Structure 1
Amino acid sequence: MPIRSSQFFNNPQFAQAASNLASLFEPPSGADAAGWAEANAKKQVASQLAQQFDYITNPANQAAPDYQRRADSYMLATGGINPTQSFFAQNQNDATKRRGDDITAATSRANNADDNARALEVGQLGGLADFYKPVGEGEIRPAIPQDVAGRFGVTRELPADQGRVKPLTDDQLKAAILGQMPQSAQEAAAFGNTPVENVVTPNGPRIATRLDAIGQEPVIAKGQTINVGGNNDIGTIPAGMQVIRDGQGNVTGMKPIPGGPAAKADADSAAQVAAKSQTRNASADIVVDDIDRALANIDASPMLNTGVGAAVTGAVPGTPAFNTSALIDTVKANAGFDKLQAMREASPTGGALGAVSDAENHMLQAAIGNLNTSQNTEQLQYNLKRVSNIYRDIIDGPGNGQRYDLKTGALVGGPAPAQRSGLPGTADGTIIQNSAGDKMVRRGGKWEPM
């Protein structure tokens, strides 16, 4: 067969068309297959995301158990949140915080329980110590039932206990004394500034209230003008007395005639007063001096004169505690009721106070009863000074002479001891004797046993 040439033979356009047509029917390449697979996967993911979106946006599904998980999946897949912002991450954070709070709370409860147990144990030990410690002055420990005491290891009921009665202060003692005195004495103490007058009595000049002074003879002081008649006349002059006139001849008083009966009576009275004063000074100085000596002993050696030291060595002769106890015994022996009355009558300031009352004596004896060297230093010093004050008040009257300031402990007011030592009653060589027959002599300004 003859071959004819064609216009399409070796025609590039025809060749391209044929190639294009052939490519339509050739198998897909690997790249095409991969592209289709990727496209299908994206389509599937998009479909799933669409389903998830529809699910999580439906209010009816928000209570479902898997709602938060599906919401996290959608939001993370679409890039809407970071992993730390997911429901799961927040739930984990909350659980971690709750766990920490629970541990902290449990630790705090355990610590509180331990602290409470320890405090209870310490309190029980303290309570047990309180059961066995001495009951202080003025304190009362109530009875403890056995069921309560058993919590502290005590197998029996603890009876009530009361400490020693607390010593009264000066003010309390004086108030107690005033409460037992007659109303007139209470009024006199309450109205201490009530006007008084000096009147003549058989026992010498005395002080009386103006009401009591009515109708009594007044004491005529030196230089006092005597009221006389209009002609400067006077009545009958007592025996043994003579009139005193001033430069103008006016009567100003009377005085005993030297050597006369009145002068002799005055001399005898002065001698009696001097004798009483000597007796009073001797006895009073024993009490006051021995209190001062006891205080000096305590100041010199407080540990051996008071408390445990005195309790251990007080019965041994020659020890400081033995000597101090002896001084206190002397004070007790020379502060009896009979001596108090005699010394008050002989006192220039205490004589006007009248008889020593039972209340005053009881107050002094009660204060003396608290003198014991087994007390601690401060208490024994306080009690000694209080006895000295009460004693001086009874003998010389409240506020007269020296006394101790119980707040500072200092001796204040009145003449110094050196001034008192010059009185006739305290002259060296004076001998006194107490009710037990013990004698003491004054030497160098101090009393010494004979």
Structure 2
Amino acid sequence: MKSYQEMSKEELLQEKESLKAAYKEYQKMDLSLNMARGKPAVEQLDMVMDILDVLDSKSEMVAENGIDVRNYGEMDGIPEAKKLMADMMGTKAENVLVFGNASLTIMYDTVSRSMTHGVCGSTPWCHLDKIKFLCPVPGYDRHFAITEHFGIEMINIPMTEDGPDMDMVEQYVNNDPSVKGIWCVPKYSNPQGYVYSDETVKRFAALKPAAEDFRIFWDNSYVVHHLYEDRQAELLDIISECEKAGNPDIVYEFASTSKVTFAGAGIAAMASSKKNLDFIRKSMTIQTIGYDKVNQYRHIKYFKDLDGIKAKMKQHADILRPKFEMVDEILTKELEGLGIGTWTKPLGGYFITFETLEGCATSVVKKAKEAGVVLTGAGAPFPYGTDPRDFVIRIAPSYPTLEELRQAAEVFVLCVKLASVEKLLEA
């Protein structure tokens, strides 16, 4: 079949009528399908139910350093949990603080603390005239929501397959003292599934910020979330790279087990330099008397070590991989050669990014919703919810069953075709 751009107006009109008829048939089906967020599927949650069985009334409940995990204390997290999270992130236990159930909470608190108390003795951001964050786009909407919540100006930085446009990053960071941070999802990025190259990581580590309180917010949320055992992407350890570059304090790294065990009931951690962690501890002692060490202990008893996490992640991959492959198969079959869309083919993570013809994303999402398929809102992967070119759509294949996903993908491609025909007929 020829591409839509090669079709005459008459051919496009005929195609539109055919697509509208098929679309109406889907509307009659009264579907209720959701590909909006990267939620683990029920099968994935069922797969880790036995974590609830590792502790009972006869469990010892004592960490390796003799701490009773049921009681107060051990603000850093129990030693075994610090080591487990450090091993997962590829750093050292001494660089790690273990917090509560979600890394998003740690990121929010880190921005909030910087607003009210500064960064390691610097002027609190709330006392400054202008604060800016760099935002690789498309990116994670919840990151952008945090900075918008605090009134921080966000600057779009285009993503490449190797990571953010580092020429732009260096230009802003090294010359503008009002630039205080950058959001990063360095491995299987949300939503494109890209992995930062070694060169990109090294350039981040070698930044020479104009602001002494600039920090990289390194959200390594998909560090162990591979889809293919034989094609696992490697990512340099940002903590050690910053140390080598003489910038040990420039980065905060975040990770959690929220999509390894239970979503919202895992353990989350931050890795950073001693200087940064010592400063953060001062606030922690005011904020809490200690995080949930029983849950930390439960995770240790369940996984034992990093090999235990890797084994569980293979099981997750066995559930997720067919879903990603199905979406790619349907997109390829229905859209390849039509010239109306491109998409990423990630090796891990939870998302696929689809790029429509410019100006079509909002229309596709609206049409899909009216046919019973909920997608992430058009514009969501951009600061302020505004996609300047209205062309990026985030697809989340994880939650639906395979049959539901097939239906949702079929509705999606139909909506892409219909929106594209309408756009070309407007030209």
More strand by share: 2
Please indicate, yes or no, whether the TM-score normalized by the shorter chain is above 0.5.
Answer: no
TM-score range, shorter chain: under 0.3
Q: Which has the larger radius of gyration?
A: 1
TM-score, scaled relative to structure 2: 0.19
| Greater relative CO (CA pairs within 8 A, separation 6+) | 2
